[in-house]
Structure 1
Amino acid sequence: MKQPHRSADNGDGTYRNPVLHADWSDPDAIRVGDDFYMTASSFHRVPGLPILHSRDLVNWTIIGHALARLEPEAEFQAPQRGGGVWAPALRHHGGRFRIVYPDPDRGLFVTSAEDPVGPWTVPHALKTGKGLIDPCPLWTEDGGAYLVHGWAKSRAGINNRLTVHRMSPDATELLDEGAVVIDGDALPGYRTLEGPKFYRRGEWYWIFAPAGGVTEGWQSAFRSRDPFGPYEGRIVLAQGGTDVNGPHQGAWVDTADGSDWFLHFQDKGPYGRVVHLQPMRWGEDGWPVIGDGGEPVASHAKPCEGGPVAAPDAADDFATGIGPQWSWQANPEPHWGNADSGLRLACLPSDGDLRLLPNLLGQRLPAERFQARTLLRLDAGPGARAGLAVVGDTYAWIGLERTENGVDLVYRVREGGAEEDAAREPADDVAAIGVDVDAGGRCRFLTGAVPRQVGPVFQATEGRWVGAALGLFATTADLLVSGTAEFGPLRVTEGRAGDYEG
């Protein structure tokens, strides 16, 4: 049983923003025929490079991932928070889908597939080195092939500039050393120019790129008659008088009837980088006009009529496996867990820090306000724990802990140093647990068939370049103790829960 979840489709030919109120960071999208496909940053999460599908740019579903595991295998056996897969670019050329993505500690890589569902090829290194980020390829009608990318100061020591290379038509190698074509240091007020997307329209080469930082920045567009410049630019989307902070980094997409649209993200702290859809048109001066005169729109007529109302699943009955909305914090092992008529997680040794737990199974917070409920059974010896967590730079969880004297229901929080009890009470081997998340990421952890709040409200926080995760886990503090935790269906509904026992 899959439960319906939030769609941005109003059902009357219009939509509301954000079209995806979840952490689909650094989105890039394309149209192939009447179908739209999107990918996004996945950072340390496994599987990586999610693939989403839509028929109207509003209703999206997850159809798979391009990366089953992260390489090098040994280095991603533990969570690499802030590392892994940064902003990718998705393109379709010569009958193949290609994703070029960066690992900021290793270089730029490309993977391809005939079908976006997969299988995808083993990633091939296109350019190695530290601090190479945000690549995007471009193929032109005259047979040219190019690649633009940015720089991460944390690894390369430089940023705020964009580099263009000539590329082989099959995207297997770069053909020159590259040249900086836009230097943000030379542009008044520019900082952190990054996230470029490369296009061609008529005689103009276009680079769409954000600047100013993810929380306060803007979206710019640059154009030149030569891929190596010189480029002229202007700001084409900014917050203005709206409540959409830092609108930038995304994709220009057209529809089959020729209308133009722009997908971009907005950083919302614990929710991560949520995705907005803006109308776009070309002004009389030849420059793109995005949103309402350069400011984001809250709602608009849909780009086109497509398939049924849909949104990525959050609920999961675990009847036929683990749904595609879930990811691990490192490359998984077969013994970590399985699902058929429920989810069973092995209680694996841990030092107790959920942020560094490879076998935490997590998903994006799926809406601004939502409720999550599940049933937990702990079948393990003393020192074993299992529960439902909200994990960012800080975290909290509710669940069961086996002690020498029996089983406790525990609510534990880590906001500064060590993880600490916020509530503890005797319990049975089975407990109904849940969390209600309210506006701004305020979390109330619950227990009982008739839910009652346990302990104080917890304020969720973002992680390293990602939003907080809704997670399930099972651990043990004793290497000699084994066992399992069984989770029943995870029920997720959008909206505020209302009153419950306090």
Structure 2
Amino acid sequence: MTSTYRNPVLNADWSDPDVIRVGDDFYLTASTFTKVPGLPILHSRDLVNWTIIGHAVTSGYDDVRPGCGVWAPSLRHHDGRFWIFYGDPDVGIHQVNAADPRGPWTEPHMVKPGLGLIDPCPLWDDDGQAYLVHAWAKSRAGVKNRLTLHRMSPDARKVLDEGTLVIDADLLPGYRTLEGPKLYKRDGVYWIFAPAGGVEQGWQSVFRADSVFGPYEDRIVLEQGGTEVNGPHQGGWVDTASGEHWFMHFQDRGPYGRVVHLQPMTWAEDGWPVMGDNGEPVAEAPVPVEGGTPSEPATSDDFAGPELGLQWSWQANPDPSWWQVSDGTLRLACVPGSEDLRERPSVLGQRLPGDPCTVTTSLTLEGQGRAGLVVTGDTYAFVGVERTPDGLVLVCGDMEPVPVRDQVVIGARVGEGALVTFLADTGDGLCEVGTPFQATQGRWVGAVLGLFAAGDGTGQAIFDRFTVDIER
């Protein structure tokens, strides 16, 4: 009996995914903006069940810069190495590479400096010539809705020309915000897969040409139609070892971020790809490769150490003195910083699950400070404990502080629509506290579940086991 999967296959904020196959293994990466570490590497044997195996970028900005940093990467395997190209819209296009996707990865290398250079994708052609296509961010460059192609040195160290405008979507009726290009070659034909129309209400187009520099003809190959999958947006085309074709793309779900769908893909008699159910996203389909082991990216963490789980990231570059994992506990120093948790690099976070869930952790606060569990995006709210002159109290929004013992279980229930109800055990079991909070998306990202500790540097927060129970 053939097993089936249901979309989304990655039901959390794995923004701007790109995917490749190497042998029988599939690998995926995604945007991370200013989160550190960045560029997660996910592994799968069937395109449905995924695990996090590492990160390709280990540092970023020292301060929190919403919407900046690592945008829309492309992942490729060439000449025995894995390559990731990404754009930082305030700096330029970088690449990192590694012999093993688990690392170590090289330090980011600037391929093309400049403002507003985004969504790069390389292609090494059959004759050894390399190319690089990218889009433009109007916020930095003053232009958008166009794709530029460069000849690139085969070692991916630099572009070799000023670039050629290969697609000007201002000339295509109805097109707006063409971006996220992925460049491929199949049977002598060059293909650019690129979405347009914006992440919430757009569509996926495909362009083809006999020459890499065009002229390109276009066709819309995936759009919402009569489904609930709004704006099926950029992703990657991948095949299986048995020769079947698939397309992974994201759907913007607001506070849940950009969740990832998997579409079957075939080739029509006229040579164009057909995605999903005749151009509309499917809710379910047969699993691409049978025999995969059920798995999903980690969420819960028993803090067994010695390092943080791969699901965690900081809001900007961390200081090693901020944290320690040992003996099944996470210790966060109560470091100084902004009162606004959205501006603190020292908030340790992970993606908000796309399904309803309950999150709990046990917290002990030693010394002076405040610590707790936060849900953050454009807005934020938290439940936690604070040391006052009168002792330790539970704090949550505008509720009256409640005296508590040294160790407190805190948590949150995230319901439909990402409505958050905070929880705490003040002596009578886990109960609802404070006012329900509507989680909100951040700048190009979904809401984040986070742990924090703040103070004058003398105190520390001790978290025991972080548990995420997802309802399905």
Please give the range of the TM-score, normalised by the shorter of the 2 chains.
over 0.9
Secondary structure in 1 aligned to 2:435?
A: coil
Q: Please state how far the C-alpha of 1:455 moved relative to its aligned partner.
A: 1.8
Matching residue's letter, 2:390: N
Partners in 2 of 1:182 and 1:441 — Cα distance? 39
Equivalent in the alignment of 2:371:
386
Q: Please state how far the C-alpha of 1:166 moved relative to its aligned partner.
A: 0.6
Is residue 2:443 matched to residue 1:467? Answer: no
Secondary structure in 2 aligned to 1:185?
A: helix
Secondary structure in 2 aligned to 1:488?
A: strand
Partners in 2 of 1:446 and 1:423 — Cα distance? 15
Q: 2:261 aligns with which of 273, 276, 289?
A: 276
Is residue 2:448 matched to residue 1:458? Answer: no
Q: In 2, are the aligned partners of 1:423 and 1:454 still within 8 Å (CA)? A: no
Is residue 2:122 matched to residue 1:137? Answer: yes
Q: Please state how far the C-alpha of 1:142 moved relative to its aligned partner.
A: 2.2
Partners in 2 of 1:279 and 1:228 — Cα distance? 28
Equivalent in the alignment of 2:138:
153
Correspondence 1:359-374 to 2 at 5 A: 359-374=346-361
Partners in 2 of 1:263 and 1:351 — Cα distance? 39
Correspondence 1:48-447 to 2 at 5 A: 48-70=38-60, 76-320=61-305, 321-340=307-326, 341-381=328-368, 384-412=369-397, 421-447=398-424
Secondary structure in 2 aligned to 1:270?
A: helix
Q: In 2, are the aligned partners of 1:133 and 1:149 still within 8 Å (CA)? A: yes
Q: In 2, are the aligned partners of 1:48 and 1:67 still within 8 Å (CA)? A: yes
Q: In 1, are the aligned partners of 2:2 and 2:287 still within 8 Å (CA)? A: no
Q: Please state how far the C-alpha of 1:12 moved relative to its aligned partner.
A: 6.0
Secondary structure in 2 aligned to 1:454?
A: strand
Matching residue's letter, 1:442: L
Q: In 2, are the aligned partners of 1:367 and 1:494 still within 8 Å (CA)? A: no
Partners in 2 of 1:456 and 1:89 — Cα distance? 42
Q: In 2, are the aligned partners of 1:342 and 1:487 still within 8 Å (CA)? A: yes
Give the ranges of 4+ consecutive aligned residues of structure 1 lying more than 2 Å apart after TM superposition: 421-424
Equivalent in the alignment of 2:32:
42
Partners in 1 of 2:133 and 2:325 — Cα distance? 42
Matching residue's letter, 2:319: E
Q: In 2, are the aligned partners of 1:245 and 1:266 still within 8 Å (CA)? A: yes
After superposing the two structures, state which structure 1 stretch, 166-175 or 19-28, moved more. 166-175
Q: In 1, are the aligned partners of 2:335 and 2:454 still within 8 Å (CA)? A: yes
Partners in 2 of 1:423 and 1:394 — Cα distance? 21
Matching residue's letter, 1:222: F
Matching residue's letter, 1:33: G
Equivalent in the alignment of 2:23:
33
* CA shift digits 1:395-447 (9 cap, x unpaired): 110010111111110112xxxxxxxx245222222211000111110111001
Equivalent in the alignment of 1:73:
none
Number of positions where the alignment pairs a residue of Structure 1 with one of Structure 2: 468
Secondary structure in 1 aligned to 2:158?
A: coil
In 2 relative to 1, CA 423–242 (structure 1 residues): closer, same or farther, beyond 3 Å?
farther
Q: Please state how far the C-alpha of 1:450 moved relative to its aligned partner.
A: 2.7
Partners in 2 of 1:307 and 1:398 — Cα distance? 39
* CA shift digits 1:293-347 (9 cap, x unpaired): 0000000001112431000010000011310000001111110001112000000
Matching residue's letter, 1:282: W
Partners in 2 of 1:28 and 1:117 — Cα distance? 16
Partners in 2 of 1:191 and 1:209 — Cα distance? 12
Q: Please state how far the C-alpha of 1:144 moved relative to its aligned partner.
A: 2.3
Secondary structure in 2 aligned to 1:433?
A: strand
* CA shift digits 1:347-390 (9 cap, x unpaired): 00123101001100000012321111100001122xx1100010
Q: In 2, are the aligned partners of 1:398 and 1:409 still within 8 Å (CA)? A: yes
Partners in 1 of 2:174 and 2:291 — Cα distance? 41
Q: Please state how far the C-alpha of 1:78 moved relative to its aligned partner.
A: 1.1
Partners in 2 of 1:254 and 1:446 — Cα distance? 45
Percent identity for Structure 1 against Structure 2? 63
Partners in 1 of 2:291 and 2:256 — Cα distance? 27
Q: Please state how far the C-alpha of 1:131 moved relative to its aligned partner.
A: 0.2
Partners in 1 of 2:233 and 2:438 — Cα distance? 26
Secondary structure in 1 aligned to 2:71?
A: coil
* CA shift digits 1:196-225 (9 cap, x unpaired): 000011121000000000000000000011
Partners in 1 of 2:321 and 2:196 — Cα distance? 44
After superposing the two structures, state which structure 1 stretch, 279-288 or 443-452, moved more. 443-452
In 2 relative to 1, CA 286–387 (structure 1 residues): closer, same or farther, beyond 3 Å?
same
Q: In 1, are the aligned partners of 2:346 and 2:452 still within 8 Å (CA)? A: yes
Matching residue's letter, 1:225: D
Is residue 2:1 matched to residue 1:16? Answer: no
Q: 1:482 aligns with which of 458, 466, 470?
A: 458
